[in-house]
Each structure stands twice: as structure tokens, then as C-alpha cells.
Amino acid sequence: MAIQITPSILNADLSRLADEVARIPSADWVHVDVMDNHFVPNLTIGLPVVESLAQATDLPIDTHLMIEDPDRWAPAYAEAGAGSVTFHAEAAKAPVRLARELRAKGARASMALKPATSVEPYADMLGELDMLLIMTVEPGFGGQKFLDACLPKIRRARELVSEAGLELWLQVDGGVSLETIGRCAEAGADVFVAGSAVYSAEDPDAVVEELRKLAT
């Protein structure tokens, strides 16, 4: 199980996006939070920015779509060059069909669960996914406090993945920091989003390396 660090650019200087991504060369992916002000009470960036960023960096792009109607909008992110596309279980009408469509377009298919959404109802469809994102804050904003109440779900998801013998990656997102990443890794996560912990630091790449060490 390889550890991967995927910094979120939500708390970066968005007027200098390519430069900000160049500050994290040790990252495995760059995590881009797309919010539509409907699924979550915040509005960020969308398809044209992902298209431009894909041209401007060699890092693969991990898009996290906090949007309504991902069945309609998510495939375009795969076409725009995102290596991984995450839609929310709570928003998707036909998650299996959508995951298959994302894979057919060449992206890794990923599904996210908000803190109050259980993993069990999705146990039988995990084989359709390349990654499961377990939110450890309510989605919508960076800089929130890590919810320890989500740790048992990470453990349950890891058990389901092991029992089924799947290659599925388990990503955590929200409040992941030097202080909390160890707990997430211990519970079974292997892909770690960190926004404010990375971009509030003087040397973001040093924090990426530090997080990796603490998760290993």
C-alpha cells in the first residue's frame, strides 16, 4: 500500500495557480476542489481552470467534484485531462454507470462520502471504483477541524477493501495535518489530501515530505 500525498490548492494563491503547484514537486497529485454553490455552500473553480492547469503542470490532477448532477458534469473533467475524478455518492443518480463512464474516458473513477454517509450501502459496488474518498470534515471549506468520528468508517472501508481483495485507494480529505495524518494512516487510509496544512506553510514541499513520513 503506497502512501500518496495530494495537496489541495483551495488555500493556495489562486491568481498564481501554476506557480503554486510548482511549489509542491514532491506531491503525487494536485487536488482540485470544484464547488458549485448548490451541493456545498461555496463556489470555487470549474472546468476551464482544470483544462488550463492540466496544460501547466506535470503533476496528475485529482478533481474533487462537490457539485449537483455529477452524472451530467463529471465526464467532462476526465476529458479535460484530470487523471482522477471524484463525484459524491450523495449527488450521483447512477454511481455505477458514472464510474464506468469515467473509466471509459481514461480517468480513475472515485466516489466521495460525506461524514454522515455510511460506506456499507456501497460495499457491493466498490469494485467499480479506483478510489473511495472519505471526508473528514463537512465538504465546502478548507481549514476546518478534523472529525475523529470519521475514523471508524475508514477502518470499515479498509476491511471491506481487504475482504474483497480490491486495489481500491482510500483517500481522506479535511483537516489532515501533521497532527492528524497518523490517525488516518493507522485507520487504513493511503491517499491524503491536505490543504491549509500545506499552503499555510513557508515551505509547502517540506510539509508534503513530512506528511509522507508521518503516514508511512
Tell me the closest approach of the beta carbon of residue 192 to ligand DX5, in angstroms.
9
Tell me the closest approach of the beta carbon of residue 124 to Zn ion, in angstroms.
26
CA–CA dist 161, 167 (Å, integer): 8
Considering only CA atoms, give the Rg of the chain.
16
- Which of 28, 33, 36, 62 is an active site residue? 33
CA–CA dist 166, 158 (Å, integer): 10
Instruction: Tell me which of ligand DX5, Zn ion, none is bound by residue 144, counting a contact when its beta carbon lies within the kind-specific cut-off of 5 to 8 angstroms.
Output: ligand DX5
201 burial class (0-12, 13-18, 19+ CB within 10 angstroms)? middle
Out of 194, 207, 208, 215, the only residue in the binding site for ligand DX5 (CB under 6 A) is 194
Q: Cell match 454522515: residue?
A: 116
Q: Is 174 in the site for ligand DX5 (CB under 6 A)?
A: yes
Binding-site ranges for Zn ion (CB under 5 A): 33, 64, 173
Give the closest residue to 118 by CA, choosing from 158, 89, 93.
89
Helix/strand/coil percentages in the chain, nearest 5 = 40, 20, 40
If the CB atoms of residues 33 and 128 are measured against Zn ion, the closer one turns out to be 33
Catalytic: 33?
A: yes
Q: Is 20 in the site for ligand DX5 (CB under 6 A)?
A: no
- Which of 28, 62, 130, 173 is an active site residue? 173
Question: Catalytic residue positions?
Answer: 33, 173
Residues near ligand DX5, by CB under 6 A: 8, 10-11, 31, 33, 64, 137, 139-144, 173-176, 193-197
